[in-house]
Structure 1
Amino acid sequence: MRCPFCGNEDTQVKDSRPTEDNSAIRRRRFCPGCAARFTTFERVQLRELTVVKSSGQREPFDREKLLRSMRIALRKRPVDADRIDRVVNSLVRQLESSGENDIPSKQIGEMIMDALKELDPVAYIRYASVYKDFREASDFNEFVGQLAPESQPG
């Protein structure tokens, strides 16, 4: 593993342990070249996934991009970071086990929407505002009005 600080290719593993949900191995590493310490994660990858955008453009699936978009929607919300990671791991497992290598971006967006709806209603609306391209306040009102009555304050 190459050191992210100095580029040395001869780093040493000092400690390995499974993550809390046993979905990855966390490795603490040390670089003898610059004495830096850093962490890497090793995850099972069942297949190479490609995201097919609505424009037809294709790009490799990026777990970190999915995680980043969920974290943005959940920013300053009372949802534990470990819980977010577990949801992302679950979404990635669903995608990898779907049997398809090409995944439409719309499918990923809908999966994120469903997950956020369960996690936090405010994050769900935040994500929807970007995903569904809300232009005016009335777009929010219309969307919130479509939510199930039990999820609305009152």
Structure 2
Amino acid sequence: MKCPFCNADDTSVIDSRDSDDGHKIRRRRRCQGCDKRFTTYESVELHLPEVVKHDGSRTEFDRNKLLTGFKRALHKRPVPTSYVDAAIDRIVQKLLSTGEREVSSRSIGESVMQELYRLDKVAYIRFASVYKSFQDTDDFRDAIQEAEKPSDD
């Protein structure tokens, strides 16, 4: 690591600690050249797969888009934010664990539906109505019957 003050290559770590959130390591360093001290942060760089949309176009995975979808489906529903964050974390972890470089938007949508099914049946039906492009009341009836089945959790 180069010194930000004198640009020397020779720096040493004098202290390392986990950051408050536990996702970074804070390192205090000292330059061997100018003897000044500075702080660096080290974190893991994760590469989420690219999302392949139904039209074949590709885009970067965006956690905020997931959050927006959850918020729309859960509008005025009694689901704590921490549950939503945990659901999104599970989806992201599932994507990371596949090791794939690409994932279909359909696969992500199915994962969102699974998580909403577990969180709130009304939100699940709201999301499904848009995601599956419900055309009439029979589609809603089928989704409600699906939601009323006993869960395997």
User: Which of the five TM-score ranges fits, normalised by the shorter chain?
Assistant: 0.5 to 0.7
Q: Which amino acid aligns with 2:68?
A: R
Q: What residue in structure 1 maps to residue 106 of structure 2?
A: 106
Q: Larger C-alpha radius of gyration, 1 or 2? A: 2
Q: What residue in structure 1 maps to residue 4 of structure 2?
A: none
Asked whether the equivalents of residues 46 and 97 of structure 1 are also in contact (C-alpha less than 8 Å), the reply is no
Distance 2:77 2:131 in 1: 19
Aligned residues: 117
Q: 1:69-148 residue pairs with structure 2 within 5 A?
A: 69-148=69-148
TM-score (norm 1): 0.67
Q: What residue in structure 2 maps to residue 17 of structure 1?
A: 20
Q: Unmatched 5+ residue regions in structure 2?
A: 1-18, 25-42
Percent identity reads: 42
Distance of aligned partners of 1:121 and 1:44 in 2 relative to their CA distance in 1, 3 Å threshold: farther
Q: 1:11-50 residue pairs with structure 2 within 5 A?
A: 17-18=20-21, 45-50=45-50
Post-superposition offset of 1:56: 0.6
Post-superposition offset of 1:144: 1.6
Q: Unmatched 5+ residue regions in structure 1?
A: 1-15, 25-42
* RMSD (Å) for aligned C-alpha atoms: 2.4
4+ residue runs over 3 A deviation: 146-151
Q: What residue in structure 1 maps to residue 66 of structure 2?
A: 66
Which moved further from structure 2: 117-126 or 135-144?
Answer: 135-144
Distance 1:114 1:49 in 2: 20
TM-score (norm 2): 0.68
Q: What residue in structure 2 maps to residue 33 of structure 1?
A: none
SS of match in other structure, 2:20: strand
Distance of aligned partners of 1:45 and 1:103 in 2 relative to their CA distance in 1, 3 Å threshold: farther
Post-superposition offset of 1:47: 1.2
